[in-house]
Amino acid sequence: MSKNVVISDVDSNRYFQKKLIERGIIDDLRRRGAKEGDTVEIGDIEFEFVD
């Protein structure tokens, strides 16, 4: 999934966030204590957690 996403592109960022939500990753990050503004690394992708 992450190989084809350019996070700096608005549409790609929305797509990436949608996929994270659909796959339950955002909920899992919340359960693990992720908070607004935290830096999250998944594979070779790093992004700011936005809740």
pLDDT (0 to 100) of residue 29: 97
Question: Residue 19: exposed, middle, or buried by beta-carbon count in 10 A (0-12, 13-18, 19+)?
Answer: middle
pLDDT (0 to 100) of residue 4: 57
Q: Tens digit of pLDDT for each residue in 1-51? A: 555 556 677 888 888 889 999 999 999 999 999 999 999 998 888 888 988
Q: Give the end-to-end CA distance of the chain in Å, rounded to a whole number.
A: 21
Count of structural domains, the chain? 1
Identify the domain containing residue 31 by its residue range: 2-48
